[in-house]
Structures are given as structure tokens and as C-alpha cells.
Amino acid sequence: MASAPTTTLGDQTGGGSANGPLLRMEGVSKRFPGVQALDGVSLEVHAGEVLGLVGENGAGKSTLIKVLAGIYPPEAGQIFWQGRRVDIDGVQTSLDLGIGVIHQELNLADNISIAENIYLGRQPRRLGWLGVVDHRRLHAMAQEQLGKLGLNVASGTRLGRLSIGQRQLVEIAKALSLDAKLLVLDEPTSSLSSSEAATLFGVIRLMKRRGVGVLYVSHRLAEVVELADRVQILRDGEVAGLLSGGEIEHDRMVHLMVGRDINRYYQHEQRPSAGNVVLRVRNVVLANAPSKTGGAGESGTDTGASGKEGMDEATGPGLSFELRAGEIVGFAGLVGAGRSELARAVFGIDPIRSGTIELAGREVRIRSPRSAIRYGLGLVPEDRKQQGLILEMAVTPNISLAGLCDYGRFGLLDRRRELEVARHGQRELSIRATSLAQKAQTLSGGNQQKVVLARWLALRPRVLILDEPTRGVDVACKSEIYTLMSQLAERGVAIWMISSEMEELLAMSDRVVVMHEGRIAGELVGERISEESIMMLAVGGEWVGHG
């Protein structure tokens, strides 16, 4: 795959630094089984500039960050640091160079103080060989770092008492204390409130003035417009474009991210009007309502109002929506909006506190996945490896897993029927495996997903819940899965598709339900479905385009 846009890079610089770039990547590639995650990506970050890096999920942003962090070695390409060619062959090398990566999931310990978190493993010592930690100096140093970021908390505070936003600043302080010259921020605002985000932006601007280079990775385009000096766009592992200064506009970025390729995989065709209501969810309140706390670990002691706020909203009106036979309903929302949680609850995995579920007009009580299956529901979960497959088992038992208990009488194992079902599934979905006895873990991501799909198709569900159906799936398989979804809808299956991929939502959905912080923020039909309308609702804004 030749990538045309990359040629525009090279010597051309947008930030305009006389000393050459701080970081230069040239033709970096990385492949995973079934996916070319990075394909000849080149980029430059200069000291004192913010380079925005945007792209749809799966465009290769995370892989690129992990290459910089020394987690994945690149397979091809070169990396130059301050003009010198370097091999980032490990996390330590990356740190030594002065690259500070703030991952989405923070690497901090909740149960120790801020100061200890910042200087973990390199606390100042005293008393010579005894090596006793010099607490006074430790805290003085930490307090100084916190001061630089304008974070007014005592360095002795236990990290667990801080809000997510504050923790993120601690992580930045840690990177700076390591003398980071390049700060890589991966979706830093995904779990921040707007005021916390504003604080963070202030800190980023401060870093910029101090000559730190910032690589800002986000799918929140407004932030990128606000912060970035230049923006590089990734698509399917390749550089899709580079914008600087006044060129940085929302629509232009969207165009480059998805743009002309919006119909590449699948052309959304208007299906004949949907049938009767199959599933009606009314005022459902989840027993364990999703909290806003991101990936930074559980902290029941969260002092911020964020946790409470989420609860109140969730216990308020509850969640209501319906699915009709033969329609594909997309569920959009930011990560943590509660989409998967709702699906899990309806499927009987997690308990429901109140509200009702009706299937084909009849109220039902779904207490377990088994009863959900009896009512004709199916769920392809988000995490294929943890929740979808028995990786150590072969294709056949994975396909038969959910239906097996209904094949034979008295719980007898009907191996013949099992094999027939597996063969049928393999044919129907063209699962590429050397044999049905091949272990699921040795299949590619796309074929693994097909195995999970085959399991549910064998049960002929009335409602099929697909949670991120194409995550980690190569492009060819993706389009096969889309075709399959359309076929199922034509056969009258109601499809409930949770997706974080805008392209997928736009292409596949007849209707889009948008969730925000545990509530349904709105529902979009027909031409009201657009990236802008979905994003507005997803971030908690009002979509004013109502008719």
C-alpha cells in the first residue's frame, strides 16, 4: 500500500523551528495479525509546539503512542530525536530520551501520596548506605513540581483522594520531574469535567511556553482546534493529511478522518420501514449505575462531585427506548457513557434496579443470560477475548457454546448436531480456519469475531446486541460483518449496535440513540444523523437541529 500523503512531509515544517524538530518519525510501520496498524507514518514535533493527532478509532493513534513509549518496537521506519537517530527499544529508553507519555489509563498508585507517586523508585535518600527516604526533600521537590502546574494540593495527600483531573496533572508532574522534553497525551480529557479540562489546557499552554513539545492525541476535535499549532490526521494506519494554522478546522479534519471514504465499506441503504416493536425498555435503572470515573481504578472515596452527579442522573428518569424488527439501531456515546452497561443489564448479566423490559409486547423478567437467550436475545460482547471466546478451545465448542444445552435431551451432548452447527456457521460466515479443531486463540481478530457471531446466529435471535462489532477487525472482515448485519436486518432481526466508530454508526444505523453519562441524551433518525449531531449529544450538549 503506497501512501501518497506522506510525501508532503520531509523538510516541510509547520511549526517553524530553526533547530529542526524535537522528534521526527519517518515511515514507521507496525503490523498486528490481520491489521496493518501503522503503515509508513511520518511526523514531526517541534519544541514548544502542540501537534494534534486525530483519527477515528483504529486509525493507529494508540499504536503510534505505544511505539513512542517503547512498548511496541516498530517494524520499519526510523525515529530521530533532536536530529539523532534512535532506537526506542523499551520503556526505559523512551523515558531516558525525555518522552513523557500520559496514557489514558493512568499509571499511578491510589494508596500512596502524591509525592511518592511522582518520585516512585527514585525518592531522595539520606544516611548513606542505609538509604532512608528523605521525606522532607521528597515533599519539597514534589511541591515544587505541583506548583509549576498550578496544582494547589499538599504533596502528602493520598492520590486516591484526588479527582481524575488532578491525578492527570500529577502524572504530568511526574513526566516533567523526569525532565520530559516531549509530552504525549492520549485522550487526556476523556474523563475530565469541562473545568478540569480547562485547567489542563492551561498547563499545556504553559508547557509550550517552556519549550516542551506536546503531542496531543484526541478525538475531540474542538479541543484540537483550540490547542494545536499543527494537526496530523491518521486514517487506517496511514497519514491522511497535515493541517497547520488557519487550516485547522473542524470540517476539514472530519473530512480527512472519514471524508470521501465514508461509503467505502458499506453504503447505507434505506431499508423498508421497520416492523413491529420487538424490544421495549422502559425506565430501566441499573443496579450498579455507571460512574464517571475513568480507567484510573476504583476510588470510592472520590471527593469530587462527579460520582454523585452520575448517580443522580442515572436514578432519575431511567432509560427508555425500543427496537423494531428489521432495524439497526446504533448506540453512540463516549467511552463510559453506559452503553455496554445497559446492554449487559438487558441481557441479564447485571441486575436492574427498576423499570421494565418487554419483548414482543409481553413484559419479561430477564434474570440471567440464559433467560435472555430463551427470549431470543443475543449479545456479542465488547471484549472478545475476555467475554466472547474460550480462547483455549477449538472453533466448534466456541460456536456451540450458547446453544449446546438445547441440542440434546436431558443435557446429553449431541456431538453430531454440534458439528453440523459449527460447519454451517463456518460456511455462512466464511470463517477462515485450517479446521474446526483449530484453537480460537490462533485465529485472526476478524475470524474470532465471526466465531462469536456464528454462535449467536445459530440460535436465530430476534434481537442481536452487537457491542463494538468490528473492533480489532481487519477491513475485509469489517465489510463482511456489515453485509451480514444488513442481511440479518432484512430477515427481521432487530440489531442493537453499540459503536464508538463514527463511520460505522453513520453507515449502518437506521436510528442512533446517543448516551451521555449514564442517560440517553437523545435519539436521531434519518437525515438528523450526522457526526455533529451525535457528538453534540455525546458530550452532553443540546442538539438544536430538531425540526
Distance, CA of 352 to CA of 162 (rounded, Å): 30
By CB under 8 A, which span of 21-29, 235-243, 407-415, 536-544 interacts with other proteins? 407-415
Question: Exactly one of 57, 91, 407, 428 binds other proteins (CB under 8 A); which one?
Answer: 407
Q: Is 401 in the site for other proteins (CB under 8 A)?
A: yes
Distances (CA, A) of 404 to 118, 195, 366, 420, 433: 53, 52, 20, 12, 21
**Nearest of 214, 253, 196, 222 to residue 46 by alpha carbon:** 214
CB nearer to other proteins: give 222 or 413: 413
Residue 57, number of CB atoms within 10 A of its CB: 17
- Judged on CB neighbours under 10 Å (0-12, 13-18, 19+), 251 is exposed
**Segment lying near other proteins (by CB under 8 A), choices 222-230, 239-247, 292-300, 413-421:** 413-421
Q: Give the nearer residue to other proteins in terms of CB position, either 359 or 372.
A: 372
Which CB sits closer to other proteins, 315 or 442?
442
Q: How far is CA 442 from CA 391, 432, 438, 448, 476, in A?
A: 8, 11, 7, 9, 18
Residue 290 per-residue DSSP state: P
Q: What minimum distance in Å lies between the beta carbon of 409 and other proteins?
A: 11
Contact between 350 and other proteins (CB under 8 A)?
Answer: no
Contact 193/144 with Cβ under 8 angstroms? no
Judged by CB under 8 A, the stretch of 7-15, 67-75, 274-282, 408-416 that binds other proteins is 408-416
- 492 in Cβ contact with 326 (< 8 Å): yes
Kindly report each contact of residues 119-124 with a partner whose C-beta sits within 8 Å and lies 24 or more positions away, as own/partner: 119/177
Q: Which one of residues 27, 77, 124, 408 is an interface residue with other proteins (CB under 8 A)? A: 408
Among left, alpha and beta (phi > 0; psi -120 to 50; other), residue 185 is beta
CA distance 288 to 350: 8
Segment contacting other proteins (CB under 8 A): 84-92, 207-215, 277-285, 372-380? 372-380
Show the site string, 299-338: x = touches other proteins by CB under 8 A, - = not.
----------------------------------------
- Subset of residues 442 to 501 that bind other proteins, contact rule: CB under 8 A: 442, 455
* Beta bridge partner(s), residue 101: 184
Task: Give 217 or 366: the residue with its C-beta nearer to other proteins.
Answer: 366
CB contact at 8 A, 378 and 456: yes
Nearest to 242 by CA among 252, 254, 233, 250: 233
Tell me which of 17, 438, 479, 530 binds other proteins, using CB under 8 A: 438
Give CA–CA dist 513/538, Å, rounded.
Answer: 10
Binding residue (CB under 8 A) for other proteins from 140, 390, 476, 525: 390
Least spacing, CB of residue 412 vs other proteins, in Å: 6
Which region among 141-149, 195-203, 382-390, 491-499 touches other proteins (by CB under 8 A)? 382-390
Among 379, 488, 506, 520, binds other proteins (CB under 8 A): 379
Provide the binding-site residues for other proteins, judged by CB under 8 A: 349, 368-370, 372-373, 379, 381, 386-394, 396-397, 401-402, 404-405, 407-408, 411-413, 415, 418, 423, 432-440, 442, 455
